[in-house]
Chain A
């Protein structure tokens, strides 16, 4: 049998106290759908052991290059693009989406709510005849997220598993139901 397609699991779960359990669950789900999941939270033999004694900046670079190595090794990225600490997804996740795109990886983004940004925004919005704008005058993208994500990535409403199901269809076809 050929090597299973490898999923890089991107998202701000790493910041949560239950990040490790969430990552383990995501890796198990990947297994269930015929993928190998790599989570930066759990680490992977491809990455180096991070040495925190060398200073924060060096440790950050080590983690960064581990993540880059994981992305280089993957076939697809499934990213949590829900809003994080405000009305934008996690910046690190977005960087990873961009980097993965530059390396020709297939991209999936999942979010709880795929209505247009201006509809989801809690705060004043006004229509100027062309765009919906916030109180600072900044217009909203027409879609569910910034087009630099929805251009290259498939956007799926739901959770990690919903995105994984879509990836399963794309990689394995509809030949069998999971």
Chain B
């Protein structure tokens, strides 16, 4: 339960953005993530979940080109975001020192649609400290990567464009715990019963 933008108390729907879908154990992750969300009183939308109203018919491909396939999948993910109230993004580094670009785009879309925005990351220390690549220090003290590009220095583990995200250290469960706490505080403050995690 949570209080939505219109003041209605109901189950929140969460878009679970991340790189989990790329891995061979994605099906197991999908099931585990759904169970975890249930436990914390949140309805989880894993990206490949098929909503009854979708079944990939919300975008009908013109032909079998790569771009049409991309547009169909993009539209599917976009509609999953539109169906949800909040986003919980896995913003761990992916194949290097940046988060997955698809996840980052989804974060921008969700923020643009007015979602409550949350993320999780294994190491939530400021980027300057957590950066795994080779670090250099310029004469003026600026910390850079090996190519001389500045590391963000805004007391955040991520690029400042994620500054409106509430970031939890850990995995999905740590994020869900934190989100549940925030939602329960809001419920109690408005005179409702908190959701009890079993």
Q: Does B27 contact A (CB under 8 A)?
A: no
A48-98 CB contacts (< 8 Å) to partner B? 56-57, 59-61, 63-64, 67, 81, 83-92, 94-98
Q: Quick one: closest B residue to A64, CB to CB? A: B163
Query: Count the B residues whose beta carbon is within 8 Å of the partner chain — how many?
Result: 54
Query: Count the A residues whose beta carbon is within 8 Å of the partner chain — how many?
Result: 51
A146 touches B23 (CB 8 A): no
CA–CA, A85 and B136, complex, Å: 14
Q: Does B64 contact A (CB under 8 A)?
A: no
CA–CA, A101 and B75, complex, Å: 12
Q: Does A150 contact B (CB under 8 A)?
A: yes
B-side residues, CB < 8 A to A, are 19, 22-24, 66-67, 69-71, 73-75, 77, 91, 93-113, 133, 138, 144-145, 148-151, 153-156, 158-164
26 contacts across the A-B interface (CB closer than 8 A): A14-B150, A57-B163, A61-B164, A64-B164, A84-B98, A85-B145, A86-B93, A86-B94, A88-B96, A88-B98, A89-B98, A91-B158, A94-B105, A94-B107, A95-B162, A97-B108, A98-B105, A98-B106, A98-B108, A99-B109, A134-B95, A137-B23, A138-B22, A143-B70, A146-B102, A148-B101
Which 5 pairs between the two chains have the least Cβ-Cβ distance?
A86-B96, A98-B108, A102-B112, A151-B74, A94-B104
